[in-house]
Structure 1
Amino acid sequence: MPPTRRQFRMREITILVSVLLAIAVFGALNPRFLGVEPALAILEGASTDGLMVIGMTIVIVCGAFDMSVGSAMSLCGMIAALVMKAGGPVWLAVLAALVAGLVIGWTNGAIVTRLKINPFITTLGTMSILRGIVLVVTRSSPPTGFPESFLKIAWGSVFGIPFPVLLLGAAMLAGDLLLRHLAYLRQVYFVGSNEEAARLTGIRTAQVKTFAFVITGLLAAAAGVIVTSRANAVDPNAGIGAELRVIAAVIVGGASLSGGRGTILGSFLGLMLMQIITTGLVFIDVAPEAQLIAVGLVLILAAVIDRSGSSGLARRILSLLVTSRSKKVERVFNVVLAVALVAALAVRFGNRNSPSEGSPQAQSGQQHYVMISAATGAPYWIDAKLGLNDKANELGVSAVFTGPPTVDVNQQIDAVNRAIAQGVDGIIVVPMADSVTPAIDKAVEAGIPVVCADADAPSSKRFCFVGTGNYNAGYEGGQRLGKLLGGRGKVALISLPGTDHLARRVNGYRDALAQYPGIEIVRVGNDQGSPNEAQKECRAILQAVPGLAGFGCVDAAGGQGAAVAVKQAGKVGIVKIVAMDRDEATLQFIQEGIIDASIGQRSYMMSYLALQMLYDLRNERIKFVNDWQQIGVNPLPTNVDTGSFVITRENVGHFRRP
Structure 2
Amino acid sequence: MRVMGRCRMAVFGLTLMTAACGSSESIGEGEKVALLTRAPTPANEFTPVELEATIDNLVAEMNENPIQPMHMAILLKTMTGFFAPVATGANRAMGELGVTGNVFAPAGQSNDGGESQDIQTEQIKEMVASGAEGIGVAPFGDGQKEAIEEAVASGVHVVTLDTDVAADKRVLYVGTLNGAAGATAATTLLEDLPPPPGTVMIHGHTVEGWADGIDRTVGARQVLESAGYKVLATQAIFAGDDQFDLDWMKPQFEAADPPVVGMVGLFNISYRCAMLAELVGKPELPVVAFDFDPKTVEFMRKGRIKATHTQRQYYEGYIAPYIIYGIKIIGLDATKQILSPLMMGDASRVNIGVDVVPGDKVDEYYAFLDKIGASE
State the TM-score bracket (shorter-chain normalisation).
0.5 to 0.7
Q: Give the conservation status (yes or no) of the 8 Å contact 2:74–2:90.
A: no
Task: Give me the whole-angstrom Cα distance separating, in 1, the residues matched to 2:112 and 2:189.
Answer: 27
Question: Who is 2:315 aligned against?
Answer: 605
Q: Displacement, 1:368?
A: 4.9
Counterpart residue type for residue 266 of structure 2: V
* Cα deviation digits, residues 616-636 of structure 1 (max 9, x gap): 44xx322x4xxxxxxxx7554
Which residue among 283, 289, 292 is the counterpart of 1:579?
289
Tell me whether 1:406 sits opposite 2:114 in the alignment: no
Question: Who is 1:106 aligned against?
Answer: none
Counterpart residue type for residue 554 of structure 1: L
Rate the CA distance shift 1:575–1:584 in 2: closer, same or farther, 3 A: same
1:216-255 matches, cutoff 5 A: none
Q: Displacement, 1:452?
A: 1.7
Rate the CA distance shift 1:596–1:420 in 2: closer, same or farther, 3 A: same
Tell me whether 1:387 sits opposite 2:95 in the alignment: no
Q: Displacement, 1:447?
A: 3.5
The number of residue pairs the alignment matches comes to 293
Task: Give me the whole-angstrom Cα distance separating, in 2, the residues matched to 1:523 and 1:586.
Answer: 19
Tell me whether 1:280 sits opposite 2:7 in the alignment: yes
Question: Who is 1:504 aligned against?
Answer: 215
Which residue among 117, 121, 125 is the counterpart of 1:421?
125
Name structure 1 gaps, 5 residues minimum: 1-29, 34-276, 287-349, 625-632
1:253-292 matches, cutoff 5 A: 279-282=6-9, 286=10
Question: Who is 2:145 aligned against?
Answer: 437
Rate the CA distance shift 1:580–1:433 in 2: closer, same or farther, 3 A: farther
Rate the CA distance shift 1:360–1:525 in 2: closer, same or farther, 3 A: closer
Which residue among 238, 245, 251 is the counterpart of 1:538?
245
Question: Who is 1:473 aligned against?
Answer: 181
* Cα deviation digits, residues 265-324 of structure 1 (max 9, x gap): xxxxxxxxxxxx8x5321xxx2xxxxxxxxxxxxxxxxxxxxxxxxxxxxxxxxxxxxxx
Q: Displacement, 1:393?
A: 2.5
Task: Give me the whole-angstrom Cα distance separating, in 1, the residues matched to 2:84 and 2:251.
Answer: 36
Counterpart residue type for residue 353 of structure 1: L
Higher Rg: 1
Which residue among 3, 6, 14 is the counterpart of 1:353?
14
Q: Displacement, 1:561?
A: 4.6
Rate the CA distance shift 1:601–1:360 in 2: closer, same or farther, 3 A: closer
Task: Give me the whole-angstrom Cα distance separating, in 2, the residues matched to 1:571 and 1:369.
Answer: 52
Task: Give me the whole-angstrom Cα distance separating, in 1, the residues matched to 2:277 and 2:190.
Answer: 21
Question: Who is 2:231 aligned against?
Answer: 520
Secondary structure, counterpart of 1:451 in structure 2: strand
Q: Displacement, 1:503?
A: 2.2
Which residue among 270, 273, 284 is the counterpart of 1:559?
270
Q: Give the conservation status (yes or no) of the 8 Å contact 2:263–2:286.
A: yes
Rate the CA distance shift 1:490–1:606 in 2: closer, same or farther, 3 A: closer
Q: Give the conservation status (yes or no) of the 8 Å contact 2:250–2:280.
A: no
Task: Give me the whole-angstrom Cα distance separating, in 2, the residues matched to 1:431 and 1:534.
Answer: 28
* Cα deviation digits, residues 111-154 of structure 1 (max 9, x gap): xxxxxxxxxxxxxxxxxxxxxxxxxxxxxxxxxxxxxxxxxxxx
Task: Give me the whole-angstrom Cα distance separating, in 2, the residues matched to 1:514 and 1:386.
Answer: 39
Q: Give the conservation status (yes or no) of the 8 Å contact 1:420–1:448.
A: no
Q: Displacement, 1:458?
A: 4.4
Rate the CA distance shift 1:412–1:385 in 2: closer, same or farther, 3 A: same
Q: Displacement, 1:464?
A: 1.5
Tell me whether 1:461 sits opposite 2:164 in the alignment: no
Question: Who is 2:279 aligned against?
Answer: 569
Rate the CA distance shift 1:561–1:399 in 2: closer, same or farther, 3 A: farther
Question: Who is 2:75 aligned against?
Answer: 371
Rate the CA distance shift 1:596–1:485 in 2: closer, same or farther, 3 A: same
Q: Displacement, 1:490?
A: 4.8
Secondary structure, counterpart of 2:169 in structure 1: coil
Task: Give me the whole-angstrom Cα distance separating, in 1, the residues matched to 2:247 and 2:314.
Answer: 35
Q: Displacement, 1:613?
A: 2.0
Rate the CA distance shift 1:505–1:651 in 2: closer, same or farther, 3 A: same
Counterpart residue type for residue 76 of structure 2: I
* Cα deviation digits, residues 560-612 of structure 1 (max 9, x gap): 4545x448737573444322234665444322323221123322222111112
Higher RCO, 1 or 2 (CA under 8 Å, sep at least 6)? 2
Question: Who is 1:592 aligned against?
Answer: 302
Higher strand share: 2
Counterpart residue type for residue 248 of structure 2: I
The RMSD of aligned alpha carbons is 3.5
Q: Displacement, 1:540?
A: 1.9
Rate the CA distance shift 1:280–1:442 in 2: closer, same or farther, 3 A: same
Q: Give the conservation status (yes or no) of the 8 Å contact 1:437–1:459.
A: no
Q: Displacement, 1:525?
A: 1.9
Identity of aligned residues (%): 21
Secondary structure, counterpart of 2:170 in structure 1: coil
Q: Give the conservation status (yes or no) of the 8 Å contact 1:370–1:419.
A: no
* Cα deviation digits, residues 215-237 of structure 1 (max 9, x gap): xxxxxxxxxxxxxxxxxxxxxxx
Rate the CA distance shift 1:473–1:613 in 2: closer, same or farther, 3 A: same
